């Protein structure tokens, strides 16, 4: 297990912070309505990189002065590494540069966070085995739970990039076409089965213009965020055959504000689970490319207190983001800087590991009881959902911050 790297930023040395020197996640922030710019989280501070770059202590061609990490991503993997190592040196406990760096620190509680990159396109996968097994069992029974292609392909679909929002954005319950199995005709009205999906999002940091290997895909991934794929199950049930989910997934997808770099997560690399069937060569992992990241979901009813409704781990995924990206590019599909890949819902083997209310309440048949005594099958108006995640080293955690969204009532129709 790797150890805490100590920083002269005292709050970064706590075992409780998401942002020790080992992490250095990438965000975009503003203070008092100023132009958004690039920053790195360290303890309870944000290091203003745009401001620091003017001192000459860092030089990345002005890419850090933009309100997005895309220009920096375009510099490539060698520069990503140089940046981390230079920044780690500047912030280390014994750094001789403390005096030069310290004036460029901002208190996190005074900053407003913004979407950290220019999102190109958003793809969502269905690559967690326990989730696919649970959902398949509900709809087709345990024998036919996994579709025939599932163990061969990281099944994915294109999502709607314009609907991806930053943590904290309020989510309005959607209206949509609904039809119960016994209804003669569909009707248009508010979704009554509005749900969450606990996922990780991988951010593509290098473009490709043709098929790439799993290793190349791994190298092209810049970092990771938490991702909540809000889902209207009743809209989905009626619309999704034959071409997949569309309006059921178009209301919103929320991401956490800090991009945790692949390099920061390197000590926590782990293999995907054993294969039930061998993968075709273009999908085989040459090395461990998944990560051991503990995840949890909290649900807080309006005016109430939070219940942790799920605990699971990213290492439950059957396919890594690298495998998903290699598959995505396999047809020649051009991939771009700023593409976001949702992992698919991350459930674990047990009931307490289920990453969606659909699974937790088993399609609404087994409502769960919150700590307050209230029951939940799906989300109620006013519910606040919080995703959290962290990888654990010796005496420290590499965390993601929170991915939060509150549900507002639907528009009247």
The least distance separating a copy of itself from the CB of residue 213, rounded to whole angstroms, comes to: 12
275: Cβ contacts below 8 Å, ≥ 6 apart: 151
Q: Confirm whether residue 140 is marked as ligand binding.
A: yes
Chain contacts with a copy of itself (rule: CB under 8 A): 120-121, 126, 147, 149, 152-153, 155-163, 172, 174-177, 179, 185-188, 210-211, 232, 235, 238-248, 250-252, 277, 280-282, 327-328, 330-336, 339, 411, 413
Q: Give me the least distance between CB of 45 and a copy of itself, in Å please.
A: 33
Q: Which CB, 244 or 267, lies closer to a copy of itself?
A: 244
126 belongs to an annotated ligand binding site:
yes
Spatial distance between the Cα atoms of 62 and 11, rounded to a whole number of angstroms: 29
Which token pair is 339? 């593409």
Tell me the closest approach of the beta carbon of residue 80 to a copy of itself, in angstroms. 22
Q: Are 356 and 131 spatial neighbours (Cβ–Cβ below 8 Å)?
A: yes
> Strand 253-255 vs strand 221-229: parallel, antiparallel, or unpaired?
antiparallel
318 in a known ligand binding site: no
Q: How far is the CB of 127 from a copy of itself (least distance, A)?
A: 11
Which tokens go with 214? 């799993």
Whose Cβ is closer to a copy of itself: residue 196's or residue 398's? 196
Q: Is residue 199 part of an annotated ligand binding site? A: yes
The residues that bridge with 63 in the sheet, in sequence order, are: none
Q: Minimal distance in Å, beta carbon 205 to a copy of itself?
A: 15
Two tokens, residue 293? 């990241």
Secondary structure (3-state) at 190: strand
SS3 42: strand
Strands 384-393 vs 396-399: parallel, antiparallel or unpaired: antiparallel
Residues classed as catalytic = 131
Q: Give the residue among 209, 176, 206 at the shortest CA–CA distance from 192.
A: 176
Is 271 one of the annotated binding-site residues?
Answer: no
> Is 381 within any annotated ligand binding site?
no
Contact 390, 399 (CB under 8 A): yes
Nearer to a copy of itself, 21 or 407 (CB): 407
Beta carbons of 363 and 357 less than 8 angstroms apart: no
Q: Are 313 and 339 in contact (CB under 8 A)?
A: no
Contact criterion met (CB below 8 Å) for 325 and 289 = no
Which CB atom, from 92 or from 250, has the smaller least distance to a copy of itself?
250
Whose CA is closest to 264, among 24, 1, 93?
24
Cα angle 390-218-41, degrees, rounded to a multiple of 5:
35
Question: How many CB atoms are located within 10 Å of the residue 146 CB?
Answer: 19
**Please, which residue, 99 or 332, has the CB nearer to a copy of itself?**
332
Kindly tell me which of 168 and 304 has the beta carbon lying closer to a copy of itself.
168
Beta strands at 122-125 and 340-342: parallel, antiparallel or unpaired? parallel
292 is in an annotated binding site: no
Distance (Å, rounded) from C-alpha 83 to C-alpha 136? 44
Minimum distance from CB of 137 to a copy of itself (Å)?
A: 14
240 is in an annotated binding site: yes
The binding site for Ca(2+) consists of 124, 197, 199, 229
Residue stretches of the annotated binding site for substrate:
126, 140, 236, 240, 345
User: What residues are designated binding site?
Assistant: 124, 126, 140, 197, 199, 229, 236, 240, 249, 253, 345
């Amino acid at each position: 297990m790797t150890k805490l790297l100590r920083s002269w930023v005292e709050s970064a040395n706590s075992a409780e912070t998401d942002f020790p020197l080992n992490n250095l996640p990438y965000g975009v922030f503003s203070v008092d309505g100023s132009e958004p710019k690039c920053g790195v989280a360290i303890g309870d501070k944000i290091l203003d990189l745009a401001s620091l770059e003017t001192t000459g202590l860092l030089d990345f061609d002005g890419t850090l002065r933009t309100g997005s990490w895309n220009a920096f991503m375009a510099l490539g993997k060698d520069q990503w590494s140089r940046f981390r190592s230079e920044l780690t040196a500047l912030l280390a406990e014994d750094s001789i540069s403390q005096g030069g760096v310290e004036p460029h620190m901002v208190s996190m509680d005074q900053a407003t966070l913004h979407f950290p990159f220019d999102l190109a396109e958003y793809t969502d996968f269905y690559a967690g085995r326990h989730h696919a097994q649970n959902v398949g069992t509900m709809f087709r029974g345990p024998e036919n739970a996994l579709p025939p292609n599932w163990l061969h392909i990281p099944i994915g679909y294109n999502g709607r990039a314009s609907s991806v929002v930053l943590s904290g954005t309020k989510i309005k319950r959607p209206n949509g076409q609904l039809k119960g199995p016994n209804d003669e005709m569909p009707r248009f009205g508010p979704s009554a089965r509005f749900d969450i999906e606990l996922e990780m999002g991988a951010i593509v940091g290098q473009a490709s213009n043709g098929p790439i290997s799993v290793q190349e895909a791994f190298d092209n991934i810049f970092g990771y965020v938490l991702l909540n794929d809000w889902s209207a199950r009743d809209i989905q049930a009626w619309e999704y055959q034959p071409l997949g989910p569309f309006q059921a997934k178009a209301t919103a997808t929320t991401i956490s504000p800090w991009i945790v770099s692949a390099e920061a997560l390197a000590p926590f690399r782990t293999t995907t689970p054993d294969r039930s069937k061998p993968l075709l060569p273009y999908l085989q992992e040459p090395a461990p490319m998944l990560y051991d990241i503990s995840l949890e979901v909290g649900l807080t009813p309006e005016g109430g207190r939070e219940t942790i409704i799920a605990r699971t781990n990213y290492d439950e995924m059957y396919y890594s983001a690298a495998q998903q990206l290699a598959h995505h590019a396999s047809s020649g599909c051009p991939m771009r800087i700023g593409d976001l890949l949702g992992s698919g819902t991350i459930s674990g083997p047990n009931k307490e590991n289920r990453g969606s209310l659909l699974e937790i309440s088993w399609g609404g048949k087994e409502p769960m009881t919150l700590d307050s005594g209230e029951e939940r099958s799906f989300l109620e108006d006013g519910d606040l959902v919080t995703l959290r995640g962290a990888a654990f080293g010796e005496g420290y955690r590499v965390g993601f911050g929170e991915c939060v969204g509150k549900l507002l009532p639907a528009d009247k129709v």
